[in-house]
Structure 1
């Protein structure tokens, strides 16, 4: 099939998938967990980066609700801890970019952080405040998994909130700092981890150290060899669409993006465009269970 015809067929299939998908109920957590623990499945899991934040402040409760409504499998959130040990959702070292406040969120007590409001990327001020991790967990519980991007050295409060909300089976921790991941395991021996690797050798070490259910790799070494290594250890392969591939998705070149993302069997894709990626995967049959 000629490339332009192939692209047109995919776009029509995506439109059909969007129509069907918009009428479907959200995925129950039992289905999501079954897929997560089945790395040989052809089902491609979608992770919403900083929640589904197109039209919403990133890492906010409305962005989390939107991600749930879209039917994403995994919601990626960034966590910090206040001076009074409240775990909050925030990505940057400071709150300058995302709120009308300034400074390090970990230098504030929770009650003082509540005075600030979240901003949209264009600077528009909203009525939303920085959310607590507990609020996020209670909102997501039973509906999706959470990928915790560790942005703090204060891990005990995070562990405590997960225990209090009884959501350990929903959670996995992401970091390239293997000492931080080991501390998580020391505090909660059964905790699920997603180590980040930057080479075949680092992926091999992560698999041996943690026996993780998933390894995060980069496009720079997204090869058949490294993917086979991860699959042979019974783990899923997480790859970012962030940046280049998301730009291709936004441009409408869906087939090109899917070819780039799926060519070596990555089966968790983190994206800023879950609204577009999910129906595109639906259209090619990669959101149904089955062997690859």
Structure 2
């Protein structure tokens, strides 16, 4: 091989590697809740069909021990029922209808984690298990039963020591993502401790102020094989670099562009359709 051909091949491989490395994954917060009730089976199906890489959902438990999908501590806002999930058996809670974005009751019902995982099984999408900290053992059993363990991401805003103390037997068996508040003075130490002791899938980094040194340089995270997960959905999670700034004001420079420039490899969004279109136009998503 001549030097010229070798250099051309090297440049091509470098470009391909850089292109793959620069791809940004899209996580749909509570599914496609603008076109279906939040945390409904339909919302997750819609988001998956849309082409997102991750759907986020929230876990709760009924009085008879069934793990269901519900964000709030009560079902008041999202259904035509009232009370906590734990106030009802699964058969009882299943009778309520989920409300859509306008507050109208639909024919969609509160799904179980098992139903969601069976629906998404084998599809090119991960499932982000929010509010799952109290239910790791139950969730793990469901994932094992459905053969979907590799599709699920467990998460919590705890230190490595706390994770090890509560779930020592699961640490090596699950895909895990620490949630870290970058506004706290010990944020970088929390990240470093995780990297020393395990291989997290990613770090979900939240911040009300965008001055953290971790945002300026997070190669110490990515060099260990972990992803940087940033949230574009609420200003309180990203110092105002949010979805609506991009979608409603057309200002991607201070929203999605800013988050990507500060290391985002996964963006959790309330605007999955628009974010996918934006990333594809930038050649940052397939």
Q: TM-score range by the shorter chain?
A: 0.7 to 0.9
Residue correspondence of structure 1 range 105-116 to structure 2 within 5 A: 105-116=85-96
Aligned to 1:24: none
Matches of 2:29 and 2:233, distance apart in 1: 8
Equivalent in the alignment of 2:205: 217
Give the aligned partner of residue 191 of structure 1: 174
Matched, 1:205 2:193: yes
Structure 2 Cα separation of the partners of residues 277 and 263 of structure 1: 15
Contact 1:81 1:152 in 2 (8 A): no
Return the offset for 1:104: 1.1
Tell me, which stretches of 5 or more residues in structure 1 are unaligned?
1-37
State which of 143, 151, 164 in structure 2 corresponds to 1:162. 143
2:223 equivalent among 228, 232, 235: 232
Q: Which of 247, 253, 257 is the aligned partner of 2:244?
A: 247
The residue that corresponds to 1:274 in the other structure is: 272
Q: Cα distance, 1:254 vs. partner?
A: 3.1
**Deviation by residue 1:220-279 (Cα, 9 ceiling, x = unmatched):** 335222x12211221100000012411112213234423211112210000000000011
- Which one has more relative contact order, counting CA pairs under 8 Å at least 6 apart? 1
Structure 1 position 80, deviation (Å): 1.1
Root mean square deviation, CA, Å: 2.1
Corresponding residue number in structure 2 for 1:90: 70
Over 3 Å counting, the alpha-carbon distance change for 1:204 and 1:272 in structure 2 is same
Deviations 1:33-83 (A, max 9, x none): xxxxx9x72111000001111121100011011101110000111111212
The 8 Å contact of residues 87 and 132 in structure 1, kept in 2 or not, is answered as yes
3-state SS of the aligned residue for 1:153? Answer: helix
Residue correspondences, number:
250
SS in 1 for 2:134: coil
Give the Å deviation of 1:170.
Answer: 0.6
Task: Write the distance in 1 (CA, Å) between the matches of 2:180 and 2:42.
Answer: 31
Render the CA deviation track for 1:142-176: whole Å, top value 9, x for unaligned. Answer: 11110101346233221111000001111111110
Structure number with bigger Rg: 2
Could you tell me whether the CA contact under 8 Å between 2:133 and 2:155 is conserved in 1? Answer: no
Compare the two structures and name the one with the higher helix fraction: 1
Distance 1:212 1:185, change over 3 A: farther
| 1:102 corresponding residue in structure 2 | 82
